[in-house]
Chains A and B, each alone.
Chain A
Amino acid sequence: MSAFTFDFLWYIVVITALIFYAVLDGFDLGVGCLHLFARNDNERRIFLNAIGPVWDGNEVWLVIVGGALFAGFPEAFATIFSSFYVFSMLLLFGLIFRAVSIEFRSKHGSKRWRKNWDIAFCCASVLIAFGTGLVLGNLIEGIPLDAHKDFIGNFLGFIRPYPILFGITTVTLFSMHGSIYLVMKTEGSLHQHLKQWVSKCIKTFIVCYFLLTLATFYFAPYMTARMREHPSLFLIPLAAVLIIFNIPRQMKKENNGWAFISSCLSILGLLSLFSIGTFPTLVRSSINPENYSLVISNSASSQMTLKILLTIVLIGIPLVLAYGTYVYRVFRGKVKLDDHSY
């Protein structure tokens, strides 16, 4: 096999991990974004217990995305995290507070204690969703990398209209995803109440998505170049749009499961568009996109390491998926609070 093939396969692994992260942690981040809108403590507990047994497994996918970059594309890993220093740290603070607020909240009954952790949990979830979107938006628009692939800007340079819009869209996407998940996991009056949220979330997301598409044409027109070369790729955005519009349709027909699957597929479609547009670039240089960018071939590990990594993934991931599916099956169905609950 040629060198290109191993780099390419590992790129597929990284993108797949990113998709798994967005689909899985997406819904629990979304639940977090909506957490403060719950009407009382009991509803909040149902929210937390809906994601309780699975959220940390979902978050591991973020570690996998980071680890996969570190292992397969160390140049890109080093550049991304050192360039986005301040945002990486903010993201970390968000992840820390989210993890501990889920764990800590239930350990004490006082109203103020719970309220503070509720706020921490919600803010951290929004921060993570927004931050992830902001970083992806910046990667699309490009960051100032010089000839040595060193970052020469500062963090204020990341706060631009396109990445901000990308961040907001991510928050709305995850909120929609999370609200559908909650509808699946609840019953009774909360279930009915949540359905209204879903339709609000869907509408907001569709507006943001539309604006983001226009913004992409304006700020990063290169994103469509590959599709214009291979017109058959236009099927993907078309499919994505159809899937997104399928969500409200399924909700109306009370097929909550199918609505959730559509929501998962729409995230898959959007991230596919991201990778089709940016491939083979991992970090785009805004100074000289042609020569200074980090692409998969100039940032990959050695062939030997990539082979080892692919072996690890081939052995490990089927196991991960098998017991991951098992855990989801054990905890399927509506949330019932018992003495082991948060």
Chain B
Amino acid sequence: MDAVLLSRVQFAFTSMFHYIYPPLSIGLGLMLVIMEGMYIKTKKPLYKEMTKFWAGVFSLTFALGVATGLVQVFGFGTNWATYSRYVGDVFGSALGAEGVFAFFLESGFLGLMLFGWNRVSARMHYFSTCMVALGAHFSAVWIVAANSWMQTPAGFKIMGEGAEARAVVTDFWQMVFNPSFLDRITHVVLGCWLAGIFLVLSISAYYYLKRRHTSFATESMKIGLIMSVIVLILQLCSADFTARGVAFNQPAKLAAMEGLYDTEGHAPLSLFGWVDTENQTVHGVKIPSLLSVLIYRNAETPVVGLKDIPIDERPPVQVVYQAYHLMIWMWGLMAIVTLCAIILWKKKRLLKAKWTLRVLTLSVMFPMIANQVGWVTAEVGRQPWLVYKLLRTVSGVSKSLVAGEVAWSLTMLFLIYMLLLVLFLYLLDRKIKHGPTSEKDKLSETAEVYRNPSI
């Protein structure tokens, strides 16, 4: 393998691993704001208990998010030096804004949120929690702005030629609010919220199954289910906007997502299938005309197929097609399990519904998978471009790279990340099994894991 391929594998691997944690932090951030808000309003100790428990989970995901996020920032410079030079002017200002506005906010107030319970007033503590959540969201805003610029570049001009070519900002706000930004940030943030919501649902369902902490679980479940319904509906609308945006801005990506080869009216929407790249067709179940209707609100309008896109500008179809469809099916699973849970809740039978609770316990994986494959769709669908229509991925790599060094770093990162994952799951499991600490019972509060390690 050469340095380019290894660098691509390394970036894909580190990004995907990193992206396990930020959605959980962003989603849990929202849940913490809601839960502590309820505590401030009702003064019920149960809500304080919930906030503390989920804040503990938050701090675990945050630590891993920071640790793996550093690799992302440095990764641009180490493996993608040519790309960094090319986009430094554009990317830099977004990344700078992220650092100054998001990271400081998040990490500055995190200390107060975790350790400040006895040091600041309840209102100030709530303010800190809000700032931590806001910081997590800001961070997404700037990263998605920078990434969207790579999908739909705007507000810039190219200076210099060949190896000396650089993208230079001409209009900051046009650069940030590039054509795909608003669609994509909404889609990403809603995806993150789902990750947080389903983590809460999943752990609450686990407590239901084990008949432990049921009052805690009931309250968490209630908030989780209500939020789940709202966010799933919002996500459906956002998906519609986003897909239509892709059709206008990056027709090659949309064609790959649907496995559409021929440009034709009454374009079908593919439900599932297998792309036959040799015969340039998809074997599977399709609904006629629906793609044209969804995108143009008119069955007659043709949708651009891959045959109208030069061969050297087509993304890998199979990967994009499968990733995209997997994402949609994950939405379907989340909708079904939420619906079942709500019906059983209304009939007051949820506590006894073993199978629904089992699926609900596993449901934390659904948004997780959807977020991962959603990004695979976005990033692989942009190939062979690194910056759409401007810079090819092969041209972005560092010139001084040695394949052996990249192979070494990739191996090390893989081993370290696997260790981190095992430890993360182990600690999360421990935290869940230990459960929340009752606020009413002061004796048990002092018996937290920190104090008395034997528990």
**Chain A interface (Cβ < 8 Å from any Cβ of B):** 52-54, 56-57, 59-60, 62-64, 66-68, 70-72, 74-75, 77-83, 85-86, 88-89, 91-93, 95-97, 99-100, 102-104, 106-110, 148, 150-152, 154-155, 301-302, 304-305, 308-309, 312-313, 316-317, 319-320, 323-324, 327, 330-331, 338-342
Contacts and interface: CB of A to CB of B under 8 A. Distances in A.
Interface string B98-132: 11110111011111101111111000000000010
A82 B398 contact: yes
Nearest to B119: A330
A82 B111 contact: no
Contacts of A320: 100, 104, 108
B401 A54 contact: no
A52 B84 CA distance: 34
A317 B92 CA distance: 17
Given A89-B413, A99-B66, A154-B402, 15 more contacts: A52-B111, A57-B104, A57-B111, A67-B92, A71-B88, A82-B79, A82-B398, A83-B400, A85-B78, A99-B64, A100-B64, A104-B423, A107-B431, A309-B96, A339-B451
A133 B368 CA distance: 40
A97 B67 CA distance: 8
B89 A67 contact: no
6 contacts: A60-B107, A64-B103, A70-B91, A83-B400, A85-B402, A323-B131
B277 interface: no
Contacts of B60: 103
B400 A304 contact: no
Contact of A70 (B68, B77, B169): B77
B93 interface: yes
Interface stretch (B320-328, B359-367, B371-379, B441-449): B441-449
B424 to A, nearest CB: 9
B81 interface: yes
Interface in B167-205: 168-170, 172
The prevalent SS among residues of B at the interface is helix
A85 B400 CA distance: 9
A275 to B, nearest CB: 20
Contact of B107 (A57, A96, A109): A57
A81 B89 contact: no
Contact of A312 (B66, B97, B400, B430): B97
Given A66-B74, A70-B88, A103-B59, A324 B108 contact: yes
Interface of B: 59-60, 63-64, 66-68, 70-71, 73-74, 76-79, 81-82, 84-85, 87-93, 95-101, 103-105, 107-112, 114-120, 131, 159, 163, 168-170, 172, 398-402, 405, 408-409, 412-413, 416, 420, 423, 427, 430-431, 445-446, 448-454
A271 to B, nearest CB: 20
Given A67-B96, A109-B454, A302 B168 contact: yes
Q: List 5 A-B pairs, minimum CB-CB distance, nearest first.
A: A109-B453, A74-B88, A81-B77, A71-B92, A53-B111
Nearest to A52: B115
A83 B263 CA distance: 47
Nearest to B163: A148
A308 B107 contact: no
B84 A78 contact: yes
Nearest to A91: B74
Contacts of B398: 78, 82, 85
B68 A96 contact: yes
B67 A100 contact: yes
A319 B116 CA distance: 20
B169 A308 contact: yes
Given A82-B398, A340-B114, A316 B101 contact: yes
B409 A341 contact: no
A65 to B, nearest CB: 9
Nearest to B118: A338
B173 to A, nearest CB: 10
Of B88, B112, B408, most A-chain CB atoms within 10 Å: B88
A207 B184 CA distance: 56
Contacts of A313: 96, 100
Contacts of A54: 111
A9 B171 CA distance: 21
B133 to A, nearest CB: 15
A101 B424 CA distance: 12
A112 to B, nearest CB: 12
